[in-house]
Structure 1
Amino acid sequence: MTVSGREDTLTSGAQHSGALRTAQVPGDHPAPLDAISAQLSTEPLELVLLFVSPNADFQALARQTEGRFGGADVLACTTAGEIGRDGYEEDQIIAVAFPSALFATRTYAVEALDTLEEQQVIDTAIQHRTALTRRASELTWEFAFLMVDGLSLREEHLTTMLAAGLGPMSLFGGSSGDGTAFRQTWLSRNGVVMRNSALVALVRSRCPVHVFSLDHLMPTDTRMVVTAADPERRVVQEINAEPAAAEYARLLGKDPNQLDPFIFAAHPVVVRLGDTHHVRAIRQVNDAGELVFFSAINEGMVLTLAKHEDIAEHLERELSAMARPNGAAPQILG
């Protein structure tokens, strides 16, 4: 899944060490599902998530997943890189499985993201959450996990609707990717391949669960106002009533021709929502000198330049703060 400057993650397994089952194979493996099945436990599984390199044959892989793991639902998406055994990796297929003894789940697809009906999305979420609660009321920890088409440009719109239907159930997840090509992303549920869609997994667990979000960015005193934008395309045309890319470069003390993904990563912008700041990652400069963003943007939005804290030190500190009193290491789905 694609993450820009933030890590939206889940910790679990305090009472049951190693609650989640994982497997990893190269994206060009000749029989990836055979290899994944061999690595996973033989116990009954409730849900299997597959994060698939865009270089793998996603459609062939997806077609083979139906019924492959017993009665478990199988949700899959293409990625912009994987988080594997060796950290950030490329050209891998990562599987995360939820054993039936510890989890109860309910999954469904949300299709045609460009024509969503708000009340229908809300009602569907309520219905699925109610059904799962009735089935597994004895499992007191819960969360919702989302895979959504990263080229749909509808992620924020959808999550706002889902949050209204899910109530107190915490929601996290990410967008499907295709490396840095931004041409074609895929999702699948139980062998059905889809685009312009999202997959929702509602989960109840015997294990303590904590949904959290981390970033190592700190806002500075340099602010800018979006004075012209095309929110549907996530394009900012003007900042401070000046051409967007030129004004962003001026604030950095850079030549506009120097702007590239490395500059955007080194000089991110954030927006304040409530008491916290959220990253608004810049994807590229288009031919018109406008800034194209990865996430929602709108006219009147105040953006703040941010600086980096040491990412390794920040991550070590934040993960240490989540350590269990008995010393058991939580598992993280990120």
Structure 2
Amino acid sequence: MIKLAVDAMGGDYAPQSVVEGVKLARNSRDDIEFLLFGDEKQIKPLLKDEKNIKIIHADEVITMEDEPVRAVKRKKNSSLVLAAKAVKDGKADALVSIGNTGALLVASLLIIGRIKGIDRPGFTATMPVMNNDKGFTMVDAGANADAKVTNIEQYALLGKYYSELVGHVNNPRIGLINNGTEADKGDMIHRKMHDALQSMNANGEINFIGNIESRELLNGVADVVVTDGFTGNAVLKAIEGTAMSGLGLLKESIKNGGFKAKLGAFLMKDSLKKMAKKMDYKRYGGAVLLGIKDPVVKGHGNSDAKTVKNCLFNAAEIVKSGYVESAKNHFTKVAETK
């Protein structure tokens, strides 16, 4: 039985959306036990059936407005901190939260801890592409605004293991986001990043395909994309915003396009549904913090029940995949040889 520690009080609509998402996941799979950390008085009335669900009361809540480091250190009885401790103590296999991103990052680092040899863990986000249903994986999607060459090298390896073991992609193609595809493009740090990844490719560590431009991401140019957290987060939000705006524009055009537009939409209903599903980034189940000793999944703060369910399923699949063990083994060996 996989055990997931869930921060039931995190997010814009907690605990309602979190509990509803847990119920959807529980009703779909019977191999997961959900440990809900939060205010029992608020959570219990939302549950008619507590099968495979256990409530662990937490007196405190870390809000979206709290300063991350101060909140984690001072609110020791908060739902997030107690959930992280459960993972560290081996009482749960993975941590899931849709709450304060900074606080989740701090709790993961201070309580669960980094994999030996990892300098800075990075958030990964899986995003849709046009030519397959697996999408592409991007690291870092916002954990670290600045990145050194060493960080990018580690992101490439973490992304490789994640793509292979969780995404089931054989020998994933790894690209570096830059302002051009030529090897000498970008500022000095990006040129050094390119050269370092090229060296790893020559050594057979990764399948590096070179620099890639962000406009090609949705065309499936790479399976894993590495970048600094500032650029990654900007790209992530641009893709999300473009997808939502594009679908909104299509709906508005059909609505105001008269009889012919509505007839065309009716005849293309199935195709339009497939397009909307393909561009729905929420189906990939949140961002994963790679480089931590146990799986940590972060969902959007405004996640609804369906999105929460996807986050929970993603966490369960990471546990089953053995990804963390593979990453630990690799980086521990590297650290021991230094």
TM-score by length of 2: 0.27
TM-score by length of 1: 0.27
